Structure 1
């Protein structure tokens, strides 16, 4: 089974709703705003801007009656992307510098502090070979998060609007 998320215009699941079972680049084309949601199945990345941009947050099965306290969004969710279920091993190579240069380390598990475990001050590029991952700006999986699907990321500074440094990485194992 894939995923299903239901968005509501008002807080606490009030007002009109929109049911989504795939990626949606602009929720406001279906609702005037989105202030609460229920994830009935699957895992979703939600974004506070259209077209999968802005702040990101991973939502697993459950109810989210309002965003300010539960996920820290100041406004509403404006786009969402379903995270596919990954069966099998996870594998990512991280690099100290852009364009896959400098020290390289291969990850197959979560890492709560890239600096402490691998002694590199910054991770500037990566190659996600297997699985879906979340990168965080702070150690211990805190701060802004960024969704990574399989692919090559030559310059991680391009995926954040500011000068974010990435300090921890976690596999997305929820289904």
Structure 2
């Protein structure tokens, strides 16, 4: 059984969004596996529920974007980079959030990345500097999980409550965040961070595929010794 689809709704970008020469394109589908009604966006959307009842799958043609749990860019955040998201579990591993209701463009205006994390609010206490790197566990770098303020000096970042890029997500665009409420958190806890890397500089998006090194060929087995013939008695 296939879902009949007409011409998808197209929502244009507002003037000045994304910066000069940068295009954004995102398509949302009502059901999983890219089925049902389709709506395309090239600019922010404050309430996708005005166009469809729910979001079951997503295709990001170009971006990056950030989706929000509730209308008006509120609630849990979900970073969406170029690629396909056939079901909700592909854009989040947080079991508390099942819905997407609004979308906003993420501006990535620098190929360089620098982030400062602070132990206390208003940039006080211990400080950790991260430069051009992804950190799956800030504990491994000798920093605690309490992060109460931050400065995104270069690039755009996403922080996670738990190690290994798991749990609620928090977006850090260029600017100062004096308190954890400024990035939408209810507690001063971040345990992993990574860069949001745009196609303009990183053609494969955030995760760069590496070519596997071919294994060394196994040595040829030594030839079996020829059996010696025994003389007839």
TM-score range, shorter chain: 0.7 to 0.9
Structure 1 alignment gaps of length 5 or more? none
Whether the aligned pair in 2 keeps the contact of 1:134 and 1:148 (CA below 8 Å) is: yes
Residues in 1 aligned to 2:52 and 2:145: alpha-carbon distance in whole angstroms: 43
Greater helix share, 1 or 2? Answer: 1
Task: Output aligned runs, 1:35-46, within 5 Å.
Answer: 35-46=56-67
User: Alpha carbon RMSD of aligned pairs, Å?
Assistant: 2.1
Residues in 1 aligned to 2:62 and 2:145: alpha-carbon distance in whole angstroms: 38
Task: Output aligned runs, 1:120-159, within 5 Å.
Answer: 120-157=144-181, 159=183
For 1:87-146, what per-residue CA distance to the aligned partner results, in whole angstroms no more than 9, with x for missing partners? Answer: 332122111101111112322122222233143341110111111000011122222211
Choose 1 or 2 for highest CA Rg.
2
Structure 1 partner of 2:37: 16
Structure 1 partner of 2:191: 167
Greater strand share, 1 or 2? Answer: 1
What secondary structure is seen at the aligned counterpart in 2 of 1:116? helix
What secondary structure is seen at the aligned counterpart in 2 of 1:31? coil
What secondary structure is seen at the aligned counterpart in 2 of 1:15? strand
Q: Provide TM-score, normalisation by structure 2.
A: 0.67
Task: Output aligned runs, 1:21-60, within 5 Å.
Answer: 21-60=42-81
Structure 2 alignment gaps of length 5 or more? 1-21, 200-233
Instruction: Determine if the alignment matches structure 1 residue 106 to structure 2 residue 91.
Output: no
Q: Once superposed, which parts of structure 1, at least 4 consecutive aligned residues long, lie more than 6 Å away?
A: none
Mean Cα deviation higher: 94-103 or 134-143: 134-143
Q: CA deviation at 1:33?
A: 2.2
Residues in 2 aligned to 1:140 and 1:66: alpha-carbon distance in whole angstroms: 21
Residues in 2 aligned to 1:57 and 1:34: alpha-carbon distance in whole angstroms: 13
Count of matched residue pairs: 174
Structure 2 partner of 1:89: 112
Q: CA deviation at 1:14?
A: 2.6
**Higher RCO structure, 1 or 2 (CA under 8 Å, sep 6+):** 1
Q: CA deviation at 1:2?
A: 1.8
Structure 1 partner of 2:101: 78
Whether the aligned pair in 1 keeps the contact of 2:110 and 2:154 (CA below 8 Å) is: no
Residues in 1 aligned to 2:189 and 2:134: alpha-carbon distance in whole angstroms: 17
